[in-house]
Amino acid sequence: MIRWFKQLDGILRGDATRLSALKDGRIETPIGGLSVVTVFLGAVYGVCIGAYAVIRTGGADHDAYMQMLASALKLPLLFFLTLAVTLPSLYVFNALVGSRLSVLSVVRLLVAMLGVMLAVLASFGPIVVFFSVSTESYPFMKLLNVLVAALAGFLGLAFLLRTLHRLVLAQIVLDTQPPSSPTSAEGGEDIVDDGSTDDPAGALDQLGYGTTGKARSVFRVWVIVFSLVGAQMSWVLRPFIGKPGMEFTWFRERESNFFVDVLDSIAKLFGG
């Protein structure tokens, strides 16, 4: 499992998404091991969310521990279900912009994106536990988790957009130039396909940004779709935190939606 964490570390540092690694127009991130690590990180953050219920009851309520277990199981499920729902649309968008990524390559890329998202979430876990100890405000805890999830989603989707851009750019280089010829991207950045691994770019750095404007526009639409589906999926799978005074249940009844509830929580937090 340590090897799988090292592979995730390589993704976070940009080693797997540098142009020298994508020179064949493919991404070679592992699916199996990375998925295991992603599920583990999601479960860690789920435990941190569920800790609020345990702390509020002083550890004396069996339902609080059940909420922690449920959150640990449902948090990874949330992301993988969102991935399953939105994968077909990403593949179609990918084809529309002329990219020839295979279904397997798209899946690899999305699993890598989930790895980035859940690594960010897990890193915020101790902060969520700290606020669970230091505040009793349920609306505040809900909004804190929404904010953390939004930040993780932003970074994960930024990683996706940058990597898709690089893959399209790498395919353009592959199609138009001999393997050993230097190429200059429209953005003014020289790309040399010499097989070296000295590309200093990080995972979120922009490369040759003038080259694939159409692809960026189309994929940004997909990012919005993914965000909306993910937000509503979290509402369908709730509760994650455990509302004080309510009995434990694996799922709440269907009512309202994620966005209305966020506005309601803001109003309650500020005494509206």
User: Rounded to the nearest 5 degrees, what angle is found at the Cα of 170, between the Cα atoms of 166 and 171?
Assistant: 120
Spatial distance between the Cα atoms of 113 and 131, rounded to a whole number of angstroms:
27
Residue indicated by tokens 């915020």: 124
- Structural contact between residues 8 and 119, judged by C-beta atoms closer than 8 angstroms: yes
The pLDDT confidence band at residue 269, using thresholds 50, 70 and 90, is confident
pLDDT tens digits for range 15-65: 777 777 776 666 777 888 899 999 999 999 999 999 999 998 887 788 899
Residue 52 C-alpha from the chain's centroid? 23
- Structural contact between residues 83 and 110, judged by C-beta atoms closer than 8 angstroms: yes
Give the residue from 108, 120, 92 showing the smallest Cα distance to 204. Answer: 120
Q: Where are the domains of the chain?
A: 2-269
Structure tokens at 142: 């809900």
Higher local confidence (pLDDT), 166 or 67: 67
Spatial distance between the Cα atoms of 189 and 210, rounded to a whole number of angstroms:
10
| Beta-sheet strands, E only, within the chain | 182-184, 190-192
pLDDT tens digits for range 69-88: 999 999 999 999 999 999 99
The predicted pLDDT at position 105 comes to: 80
Comparing 122-136, 164-178, 181-195, 227-241, the range with the smallest average pLDDT is 181-195
17-28 b/e with 16+ CB inside 10 Å = b? bbbbbbbebbbe
- What is the end-to-end Cα distance of the chain in Å, rounded? 48
Higher local confidence (pLDDT), 213 or 218: 218
The predicted pLDDT at position 215 comes to: 63
pLDDT tens digits for range 220-266: 888 899 999 999 999 999 999 988 888 888 998 878 889 999 999 99
CA dihedral 191, 192, 197, 203 (to 10 degrees): 10
pLDDT tens digits for range 83-118: 999 999 888 887 777 666 778 888 888 899 999 999
Region 1-27: mean pLDDT is 79
Give the residue from 10, 166, 161, 30 showing the smallest Cα distance to 108. Answer: 30
The predicted pLDDT at position 104 comes to: 83
| pTM metric for this prediction | 0.81
For residue 254, give the DSSP letter.
P
- Structural contact between residues 171 and 23, judged by C-beta atoms closer than 8 angstroms: no
